[in-house]
Structure formats: C-alpha cells, structure tokens
Amino acid sequence: MWQILTGYWSEFITGFGNTILCSLIAMFFSLILGVFFALLEVAPPKIGRAIAHIYIEIFCNIPLLVITMIFYLIIPQFWVKVSGFTAGTIGLALYTSAFIAETVRSGINSVGDGQMEGALSNGMTYVQAMRYVILPQAIRIVIPPLGNQMITLIKNSSVLAFVAGFDLMYQGDIVAFSSFQTIETYVIVGVFYLGLTLPLSYYMRHLEKRLA
Amino acid sequence: MRKFKKFLLLPIIFFLAFTLAACGNKKQNTYQKVKQDNTIVWGVRADTRLFGLMSIKTGRVEGFEIDLANAITKQMLGENGHAKLTKITANTRIPLLKNNNVDVLMATMTITPDRQKQVLFSKPYFKAGQGILVPDNSKIKTVQQLNNKTVLAVKGTTAVANVHKYAPKAKVLEYGDYGQAFSALKAGQGVAMTTDSGLLAGIASENPGYKLAGSNFTNEPYGIAVNKGQTQMVKHINKALDELKKNGTYNRLIRKWFKGVKGFNIKEVEE
Amino acid sequence: METFIHAYSWIDIRFLLQGLWVTIYVSVISIILSFILGLICGLVRYMKIKYLSAAVGFVVDIIRNLPLLLIIFFTYFGLPKLGLIANPTIASIVALVVFEGAMLSEIVRSGINSVPTGQMEGARSNGMTYVQAMIHVVLPQAIRNMVPAILSQFVSLIKDTSLATIIVLPELLYHAQIIYSQNTSYLIPMYLIIAVMYFIVCFCLSKYANHLQKKYL
C-alpha cells in the first residue's frame, strides 16, 4: 500500500487538490443560491414562492449524477463547451443549493412569525426585519445542518469521476486500474476523503452541542 | 437491560465471525470448478457494438464474443455446458477476475506484458489494432496529429498508454465505458476518440458523421484471460479455440458479425 | 421533434421501465434493510454499552464520511475477496445498506436523544422493563421526531442507486446510457425522460410520506 502512495503521489495530490477546489467553489455558489431561493420562498410575492418551490423540488428529486451528465453532455451541443470539472462543479452547486434552501427556509420559519410582525410594527421594512432580526437568529439554528450539507457536498464531489473531472475519485480509479491493486488504492482514496470530512464532521458535532 | 444488550450484540458478533471466516479464502482450480458446475462464468462487455452489446429489444447481450464464449463453453463442457455471462466494464475487468467474480474474461482485452503479470492469457482470438475515430470534417489523419489536442479514451484500456507513446503531448480524458466516451466526443469534449478499430468501426457504422482516421497504428491481438496459475483452464480454452478454428465455426462467427462493416477488412482477421 | 417520437418508441420505453424496475427493487430492499441496520446501530450508540457503542460509533463515523461511490467499489471488489460472489445487484444493495444504515443510525441516535430522559424513567418506574419502555414509550416518540429526516434519507437512497451504473447495475441510468450509446441522437430525449422518471418516483415518495405523516403523527 505504501508503494502505491509513494509511486502515484502526484496523482493523488492532483486529485485531492481538485476535490478541495471543486468543493470550495460549489460550496460558495450553493450557499448563495440556497439562501437566495430560501428568501424567495418565505417572501410574500406568490410568484417568487412558486419559482423557488419548483426549483427546490426539481433539484431535490433528480439524482446528482443525472444533473451533472446533462451539463456535461447536453449543454455543449447547444451552447458552450463545458469541461468535466466545470460541469461537475455546476451540477454539485445546483444540487446542493436546493437542500441548502430547504434548510435555511426551515430555519427562518422556526424563528416564528411573531418576530417578523414585531419588527414590522416597530417601523422596520421587510428587508430590514429579515436582515437584522430574522436571519441572525435563523443562522444559529441552521449552522449544524448546513455543516452536514457541506460534508455531503464533499462526498458528492466524487461524481466528477464520471465526467473526467480529475478529482480524487477519478485519479483513484486510474491508479487502481494501472497498478491493479484495487482495494489498496481505494483505501488510500478513502483516507484522503476522511482527512477532509472527518474533522469537519467532529467539529460540527461539537458546534451542535455548544449551540444546543 | 442486559438481555437487550445481548440481543444487540448477536448480529455484530455474527458479522465479525463471518468476516473472519471469509478471510480464509482458498485458491481453487478453475477448471475443476467449471467441470463440476458444468458452467463457465464469462466476464463480457455490454457496451461494445459487434463484440458484446446489450440489445434494447431483449435485454440480452449479443455479439461476436458472446457467440464465441458460448461456442467455447459447448466445446469444453459438451452440449449441456452452460455459459453464464457477467457484464463488466474495461476498468473493472481485471480486479473482477482476480477476485473470482468471473472464471474467464473475454472482453476485448489486448495481450500486454503488464497484464500478463496479473493474469494468464490464451492464444489470441482476434487480431485487433488501435484506431482513431473523428468527425467527418476533421483534418486529423494520423495519431501524431493528436499532439496538443484532447483525446477521449476508456479507463483501463491500452489506448491511453498508446496515445502517450505516439502523441506524447496529447491530453487524454478517460471514461467508464464506450457509450460515455462517444457521447463526450459528440459533445465536443475532445477532437477524437481512440480505442481498438473494431470497436470504432462498430460505432462509426451506426453513427453517420463519424469516420475512422487513417489505419491502425498498433497491432494488438485480443486474448481470453484467466486467473494467474490456472494453466489447466487455459490449456483447455486453447484446445477448444483451435478446434473451433479448424471446424469453421470461428470464421462463420467472424463473417456473421463483421461482414460488410464500414472501414473493416474482414480478410485481416479471418483464420 | 422527430427524434423524440422515435426515441420514445415502445421498445425503448420498455427497456427503460425494466431499468426503473431494477432501481425500485434495489431501493426498496435497501430501504428496508438499512432501516433495520440504522435502528440497531443507533440504539447501540444511544445505550452507551461499554466498548461496543464506541466501536459502532467509530465505524459509523468512518462510513458516514466516505463517498458512497467509494463504498460501492469496496463492496464490489471486496465481497469476492471474502469468498462471496458479488454480482452488481448484491454489491450495490450491500453498499447502499451499509452507507444509508450509517446515515440513518445518526438520525436515530439524535432522534432518541431528543426524547426527554424523564420519559424513560417514568416508564421504568411504572414497572416496564427496559425493552418495553424502549419499544412502547421512547421509540414511538423518537420516530415521530425523526420521520422527516429518515424520509429524505430514503429519497436520497433512491437517487443514489444511479451511482451503481459504475459497476454495471442494470438500473435506469445504465439502461438509458445503453440506448443513447447505440443511437446518440437519443441523448437528450433519454436524459429528459429519466430525469422525469426519477422526479416522479422521488416526488411521489416524499409527497406520500408527507401525507402519511400528517395523517398518523
């Protein structure tokens, strides 16, 4: 096992780097999109609610792999060429954003209508009330579930392997099938993934206890 | 409380014992096993036209290799011999053979020195070589022209190493199977797709707008693979293969599948 | 437009439905088994049995933090090493059960933790045994708390079966790939229809579950 690690060190590191990069980009965009659609869903206009609702239902109920494949294979036929890395990252961001929207929305809802009414009757506008009263309270509630979403996102980034995205899983496949040491290679890949997800997961548990 | 804990312990102990017991996996003689079960488990492809492709109508895999596998099974075990087909992909085939998921592999697999360290090959059963598939309007004619371009291939095949050898500056993207690789070519993810020309001819014949560029740039016969050390099995496969070539079954199967395929010279492969 | 009509011929649709059937039965078996596994592991972790709970917790944490794709590879290549013949169906079911079971055990554990300890103490002081108290008092309340999380886990299990295409499980996505690799102009119609199929299955499951939840809980 040690020989595989040293012999294919650069492959593993490239894959590890790409997995981190893809996860970070996808996290950033999925957070923005997720919060945006959550706000749209709790806002008064009916049309916004409908749009957010459709968006969330679509991306929650279609497998990530299918979404990614659509970006990788179909978009280039009509529009621009999308590399595997980009397609995977876009798919990951959209997919995760739907779950984040759900999480944030339930966080906002759990703050309670009374808070909003109180803020509005104190002369705040809707936006101000959201920004200064509701969201700060909601954030505290949604941080642990959001952390779990991030861990899921890192794990899900392995779909890049299907679209030649040069992530850890893809590189692992290549090492496995050129060294013929399948199980050993996947153990190494697993250790790399755990290096990312396990600390995050323990930190989240710690945070959850403290916030609760 | 204590009783309940014991109840919970049971499945876990069972699981551990099972894991340990399973670790004592003994090496067995494939030929003896095959004879005993009257069944050969073949690892075959389901994504390669002409060789082994899943039929949408019947859900069964059909192709040259499937017919040959059935013929060899009958030759080895008699008329009642049963060929069980397990679908595999290029990247999973060797691990599956080494793990005893399958007894024998007949999966468009080129005989290479690297692979010979891992598995035992029969005599060649098909004369293959690597080609390049490009869109009709492409200017690419030789493998050298692929330098500085993106080429699509399938994981776990010799195609990748060959591209690195003949066009060192080409960038290679690798996929799980030929369907995915060709879809990627169609989506413009690369300028060409490369693998054995027999497979490419199959794709080109069904997809107008794509052609084989130039001729084969390698000579890579396919072999049937068994696990390392199964010499008895390989001997019997070779014998069956020789008999099939002698009695004309082999050529009949070649003609059945490859006659009239665009860009494919049947004389090159007949015995 | 014409390609769509050709792509959705009965033969192709039937082939896709066969794939959908595999997706559904692999999912159903995995849902049942992973629920049992998750319940057992969650209980073991909750009960804080010496060594055992910690060991189970450790294994669960490891599995929870690995990509499912990796676990599928482990079962597919690993089970035969243990002397079991792993065909893709068994390998994917085992992988899904192990992975989703670990995810569920975490949900179960926090679900039981959310039931006030007074409930257990009250039931015990009323003469119930530990097992009776667990089954009749604590678990029903805990399950009520964790139902939404468990259901969304089941929906993701169905979606996750698509990852098993990598080991040639003949499920919906794989069958779609077979069709469009034989005629690539069907690429778009195929992805469209399987997206719709997955959507219908997952959407119906989550809506039906919501309905049940409102009716009975």
Which residues, listed in sequence order, are joined to residue B226 by a DSSP beta bridge?
B104, B120
What mean pLDDT, rounded, does chain B reach?
Answer: 83
What pLDDT is attached to residue A131? 86
Q: Which residue has the higher pLDDT, C199 or C86?
A: C199
Residue C119, pLDDT > 70, answer yes
* Longest Cα–Cα distance in chain A: 69
CB atoms within 10 A of CB A3: 10
> For the stretch C9-47, what's the b/e string if a residue is b when 16 or more beta carbons lie within 10 angstroms of its beta carbon?
eeebeebbebbbebbeebbeebbebbbebbbbbbbbbbb
CATH fold of B30-127+221-266 reads D-Maltodextrin-Binding Protein; domain 2 (3.40.190)
Show the low-confidence residues of chain A (pLDDT under 70): 212
What pLDDT is attached to residue B95? 82
What pLDDT is attached to residue A194? 93
Q: Which residue has the higher pLDDT, B231 or A209?
A: B231
pLDDT in tens, B149-192: 999 998 878 888 888 889 899 989 988 878 888 888 888 889 99
What pLDDT is attached to residue B17? 52
Residue B193, pLDDT > 70, answer yes
Q: What's the number of domains chain A is made of? A: 1
CA terminus-to-terminus distance, chain A: 42
Q: Which residue has the higher pLDDT, B105 or A78?
A: B105
What pLDDT is attached to residue C168? 85
pLDDT in tens, C19-29: 999 999 999 99
Residue-level length of chain C: 217
Q: Does B174 touch chain A (CB under 8 A)?
A: yes
Cα C187–chain centre separation: 28
C-chain residue closest to B181, CA distance: C181
Residue B8, pLDDT > 60, answer no
Chain A residues whose CB is inside 8 A of the B228 CB are none
- Best of A69, A150, A162, A203 to disrupt the C interface (most C CBs within 10 Å) is A69
Sheet holding B61-62, edge to edge: B47-48, B52-54, B61-62
In this complex, the residue of B4, B56, B89 whose CB is nearest that of residue C178 is B56
What pLDDT is attached to residue A195? 92
The helix/strand count (H/E) of chain B reads as: 11, 13
B201-212: average pLDDT: 84
Residue C107 sits at φ, ψ, to 5 deg, of -65, -45
**Residue A139, C-beta contacts closer than 8 angstroms, at least 6 positions apart:** A107
User: So where are chain C's domains?
Assistant: 2-216
Q: Does C194 touch chain A (CB under 8 A)?
A: yes
Mark yes or no for CB contact B186/A73 under 8 Å.
Answer: yes
CB atoms within 10 A of CB B251: 15
Do the beta carbons of residue B62 and residue C43 sit within 8 Å? no
Do the beta carbons of residue B106 and residue B42 sit within 8 Å? yes
Q: Does B250 touch chain A (CB under 8 A)?
A: no
User: CA-to-CA distance for C91 and C78, rounded, in angstroms?
Assistant: 9
Q: Residue B22 — pLDDT band, cuts 50, 70, 90?
A: very low
The helix/strand count (H/E) of chain C reads as: 10, 0
**ipTM for the whole complex:** 0.87
Pull the structure tokens for residue C202.
Answer: 């997952």
pLDDT in tens, B250-267: 889 988 888 877 666 677
Closest CA to B99 of B137, B151, B43, B155: B43
Query: CA angle C95-C106-C137, nearest 5°?
Result: 120
Closest CA to B123 of B33, B204, B224: B224
What pLDDT is attached to residue B13? 55
C-chain residue closest to A190, CA distance: C66
Q: Which residue has the higher pLDDT, B19 or B138?
A: B138
CB atoms within 10 A of CB A117: 11
Composition of chain A by helix, strand, coil, percent to 5 = 90, 0, 10
Phi-psi sector, B177: left (phi>0), alpha (psi -120 to 50), beta: beta
CATH fold of B130-213 reads D-Maltodextrin-Binding Protein; domain 2 (3.40.190)
Q: Does B100 touch chain A (CB under 8 A)?
A: no
Residue-level length of chain A: 212
Do the beta carbons of residue C90 and residue C78 sit within 8 Å? no
Residue B21, pLDDT > 60, answer no
Q: Is B104 helix (H, G, I), strand (E, B) or coil?
A: strand
Pairing state between β B150-154 and B61-62: unpaired
* Longest Cα–Cα distance in chain B: 78
Mark yes or no for CB contact C65/A151 under 8 Å.
Answer: yes
| CATH fold match for the domains B30-127+221-266 and B130-213 | yes
pLDDT in tens, C144-194: 888 888 888 999 999 999 999 888 888 999 999 888 877 777 888 899 999
Q: Is C112 helix (H, G, I), strand (E, B) or coil?
A: helix
Closest CA to A18 of A134, A113, A157: A157
What pLDDT is attached to residue A80? 78
Mark yes or no for CB contact C65/A69 under 8 Å.
Answer: no
CATH code of the domain occupying C2-216: 1.10.3720.10
CATH classification of the domain holding A160: 1.10.3720.10
Mark yes or no for CB contact B188/A176 under 8 Å.
Answer: no
What pLDDT is attached to residue A83? 85
User: CA-to-CA distance for B155 and B164, rounded, in angstroms?
Assistant: 14
Listed ranges A133-137, B177-181, C61-65, C77-81; the one with the highest mean pLDDT? C61-65
Q: Is B126 helix (H, G, I), strand (E, B) or coil?
A: strand
Mark yes or no for CB contact C65/A197 under 8 Å.
Answer: yes
SS (H, E, C) A99-163: HHHHHHHHHHHHHCHHHHHHHHHCCCCHHHHHHHHHHHHHHHHHHHHHHHHHHHHHHHHHHHHHH
Residue C99 sits at φ, ψ, to 5 deg, of -70, -50
Chains in contact with C via at least 3 Cβ–Cβ pairs below 8 Å: A, B
Q: Does C173 touch chain A (CB under 8 A)?
A: yes
Range of the domain at A199: 2-211
> Using only C-alpha atoms, what is the Rg of chain C?
21
User: So where are chain B's domains?
Assistant: 30-127+221-266, 130-213
